[in-house]
Amino acid sequence: MLTLNKTLGMPSRLSRWQIPGFLRSFTFRPGKQFLHKLVLGIETSCDDTAAAVVDESGNILGEAIRSQTEVHLKTGGIIPSVAQRLHRENIEQIVKETLSASGVTPNELSAIATTVKPGLALSLGVGVAYSLQLVNQYKKPFIPIHHMEAHALTIRLTNKVDFPFLVLLVSGGHCLLAIVQGVSDFLLLGKSLDIAPGDMLDKVARRLSLIKHPAYSAMSGGKAIEHLAKQGNRSHFDFQHPLHYCKNCDFSFCGLQTAVDKIITQKEKEEGIEKGQILSCAADIAASVQHIVASHIAKRTHRAILFCQQRGFLTPSNAILVVSGGVASNLYIRRSLEIVTKATNCILLCPPLRLCTDNGIMIAWNGIERLCAGLGILHNTEGLRYEPKCPLGVDISKQVGEAAIKVPNLKI
């Protein structure tokens, strides 16, 4: 079925005999829905060069991604200038691959959407500069995208989820809890006061020298910890729960990282091993760290749900918690959150794994959401800037802290 939209400039009244001629004036090919909205999404905020074309029904027509994980693993973390160089080397090819896979030409796009905030300045700059070049060349509207908004809205591409819903975003660069009331209408309940959980797990994995172990050398730090933890005893090390006495929804992972670091140094001495060798108790450390990270995230999320229920922010009969970001692929953390949602009569939803980490699809979909809602569509990009730091929504974390909700103990 063909859907005609306003942007086509269809005459308001066509007589019956005029309609076939009008339709023929478009190069319609079976299987291609040219009359639908089509958005090209481009993502370069951190260490993935990604693009996708998505239509307004949520069909992914084409996508391509080049991850830099392997390179950054070798250097022990992301070096911004290296990330920038790799984005520069890959962006043109990634966009070409995406368009060719989708069978769509730039002229057929309704708009181009690109991550402009937050992220690494040098990385954001590559995606924004390339996108603006395309926008000017093909005279297309531009939709600037907030990376975290895109993560939060991805679930509406894969599931039928209405506003409002609660979202937990946990990745290498981000950690936050927010109420999603609309496409660009967020209430921030809490965020990490220092580093994100993925960053912390990456650092612990590096400190444990997991990169030297063939089974884990190609994995991100968080994934390596999850795999190693399966062979460990989570009660072996008793790390303190972060922010235990703060009855709010903020997070902290720096203190835990320091405590883990100390234990590793102490064990290295005890076992008489050199830095770089793998400790005999590495699996126990991984399991204990993962358990504290999961409990901390679960506790803060539990409080966020109780706060929303107390203040009527969620629909009681259909309260939804969406969890996304790279760390959301951790099954131990997911199971801890399942215990929380079960106890609070909420529904837990996670996008499929490949959509939890950074990708171009979520950016294109965010573009579609904004296009349909008529929000933030630019026809003139003069003076457009990318923003390395940018909070999400209206911060109501103070109210959450003032409510000081006591969270009942749940066995994780």
Residue 252 touches which of ligand ADP, Mg ion, none (CB < 5 to 8 A by kind)? none
330 binds ligand ADP (CB under 6 A): yes
221 to 250: interface string for ligand ADP, x by CB under 6 A: xxx--x------------------------
- Determine whether 70 is exposed, middle or buried from the number of CB atoms within 10 Å of its CB (0-12, 13-18, 19+): exposed
Stretch binding Mg ion (CB under 5 A), from 134-142, 177-185, 204-212, 357-365: 357-365
Long-range contacts for 101-105 (Cβ within 8 Å, ≥24 apart)? Answer: 101/61, 101/62, 101/63, 101/64, 102/53, 102/61, 102/62, 103/32, 103/61, 103/62, 104/32, 104/38, 104/40, 104/53, 104/61, 104/62
282 to 321: interface string for ligand ADP, x by CB under 6 A: ----------------------------------------
| Least distance CB 318 / ligand ADP (angstroms) | 27
- Which of 46, 50, 120, 196 binds Mg ion (CB under 5 A)? It is 46
| Least distance CB 183 / ligand ADP (angstroms) | 21
Taking the C-alpha atoms of residue 97 and residue 75, their distance in angstroms, rounded to an integer, is: 28
Contact in structure between 174 and 196 (CB atoms under 8 Å): yes
Nearest of 74, 60, 37, 28 to residue 373 by alpha carbon: 37
- Which of 220, 295, 344, 366 binds ligand ADP (CB under 6 A)? It is 220
361 binds Mg ion (CB under 5 A): no
The site for ligand ADP, by CB under 6 A, has a size of: 21
Residues in 48-67 that interact with Mg ion by CB under 5 A: 48
Taking the C-alpha atoms of residue 271 and residue 279, their distance in angstroms, rounded to an integer, is: 8
Residues in 10-69 that interact with ligand ADP by CB under 6 A: 46
| Least distance CB 256 / ligand ADP (angstroms) | 14
Nearest of 49, 56, 136 to residue 96 by alpha carbon: 49
Distances from the Cα of 189 to the Cα of 250, 304, 393, 405, angstroms: 8, 7, 10, 13
Contact in structure between 151 and 306 (CB atoms under 8 Å): no
| Least distance CB 25 / ligand ADP (angstroms) | 44
202 binds ligand ADP (CB under 6 A): yes
Interface ranges with ligand ADP (CB under 6 A):
46, 171-174, 198-199, 201-202, 220-223, 226, 325-327, 329-330, 357-358
